[in-house]
Amino acid sequence: MDKSDNIFIAGHRGLVGSAIVRRLEADGFTNLLKRDRHELDLANEAAVAEFFATEKPNVVILAAAKVGGIKANNDYPVEFLLENLRLQNNVISAAHANDVRKLLFLGSSCIYPKLAAQPIREDALLTGPLEPTNDAYAIAKIAGIKLCQAYASEYGENYISAMPTNLYG
Return the active site residues.
137
DSSP character at residue 143: H
How far is 85 from 14, CA to CA, in rounded Å?
Answer: 18
Residue 2 half-sphere exposure toward CB, CA atoms < 13 A? 6
Q: End-to-end CA distance of the chain: give it in Å, rounded.
A: 27
**Helix or strand holding residue 102 (H, E):** strand 102-106
- 148 alpha carbon, distance to own chain's centre: 10
- For residues 56 and 119, is the Cβ–Cβ distance under 8 A? no
**How far, in Å, are 9, 28, 145 from residue 116 at the CA level?**
31, 40, 19
